[in-house]
């Protein structure tokens, strides 16, 4: 008999050798998933000393082959949320939590704010806003049918209005009435193929590559849509790569429709997102 404790230790060694960034944590998360318990429960003798299920070895082998942990467990953690994820949808990253925070802070300062999430993917930002800003009216759009299906699961019961479609033409019925537009658009330049096999082989290309030589073609579309949707003084929050701390704000400044264009760093001190206010007289 192989105990859960021994199996986790061996799995951690294998995952480390495979280059998994957090081998012990991932080994424990997979064990907890198979056993249907919380990760902290693995320390209990009643759990750690029991025989490991055969399914655990299968999951470890997949993780060793760099299948994302979230695809194996079917769950991704984002702020206070546990989101359903899997093949066909971009797995939300911790750094995007500060982007969501900026949208949440702006929405909280208003009464009954109207917020739009362009290119919602799993629905992470939209659901975070809807659940953390009581009284908010949140809309989200996603073009990829597979990602849209995952988002539909995650927005259920939150009040988020989710639509399937291109964010270039999204929500014409909301033109000029939105308080906050937030987006984590694709922004990787076409010649900058990610080195991480989990990103390169498992995240959908539509969610990765921003288009254009600089990777900012998608941001330019976001800018045009946000310009159309936002009321005067409304806020745009858009994520970008850490190498685009100058070029992303330049996209907005070139449009001559924005005030207070600013770039903001994440918790690690890297350029992470740009904000801007829709130019025009306040209503």
Annotated binding site for substrate: 184-187
Separation CA 41–CA 63 (nearest Å):
21
Residues of each annotated binding site for S-adenosyl-L-methionine: 119-123, 142, 167, 184
Q: CB within 8 A of 276, min separation 6: which ones?
A: 235, 236, 249, 252, 258, 259, 260, 261, 262
Rg of the Cα trace of the chain? 21
Q: CB within 8 A of 224, min separation 6: which ones?
A: 168, 255
Residues of each annotated binding site: 119-123, 142, 167, 184-187
CA distances from residue 100 to 12, 176, 207, 222, 236 in whole angstroms, order as listed: 32, 22, 17, 16, 12
Cα-flanking dihedrals φ and ψ of residue 160, to 5°? -65, 130
Cβ pair 144, 206 in contact under 8 A:
yes
């Amino acid at each position: 008999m192989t105990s859960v404790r021994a199996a986790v230790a061996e799995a951690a060694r294998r995952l480390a050798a495979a280059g998994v960034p957090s081998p012990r944590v991932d080994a424990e998360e997979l064990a907890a998933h198979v056993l249907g318990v919380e990760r902290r429960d693995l320390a209990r003798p009643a759990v750690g000393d029991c025989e490991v299920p055969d399914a655990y070895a299968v999951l470890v082998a997949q993780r060793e082959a760099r299948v994302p942990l979230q695809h194996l467990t079917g769950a991704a953690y984002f702020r206070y949320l546990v989101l359903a994820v899997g093949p066909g949808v971009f797995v939300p990253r911790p750094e995007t939590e500060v982007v969501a925070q900026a949208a949440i802070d702006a929405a909280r300062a208003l009464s009954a704010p109207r917020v739009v999430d362009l290119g919602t993917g799993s629905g992470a930002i939209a659901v975070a806003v809807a659940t953390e800003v009581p009284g908010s009216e949140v809309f989200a759009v996603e073009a990829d049918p597979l990602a849209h299906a995952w988002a539909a699961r995650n927005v259920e019961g939150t009040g988020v209005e989710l639509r399937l479609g291109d964010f270039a033409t999204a929500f014409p019925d909301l033109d000029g009435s939105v308080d906050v537009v937030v987006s984590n658009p694709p922004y990787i330049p076409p010649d900058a193929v990610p080195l991480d096999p989990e990103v390169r082989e498992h995240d959908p290309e539509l969610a990765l590559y921003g288009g254009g030589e600089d990777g900012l073609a998608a941001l330019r579309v976001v800018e045009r849509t946000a310009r159309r949707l936002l009321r005067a003084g409304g806020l745009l929050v858009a994520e970008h790569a850490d190498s685009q701390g100058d070029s992303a704000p330049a996209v907005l400044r070139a449009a001559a429709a924005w005030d207070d264009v600013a770039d903001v760093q994440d918790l690690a001190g890297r350029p992470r997102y740009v904000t801007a206010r829709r130019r025009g007289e306040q209503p």
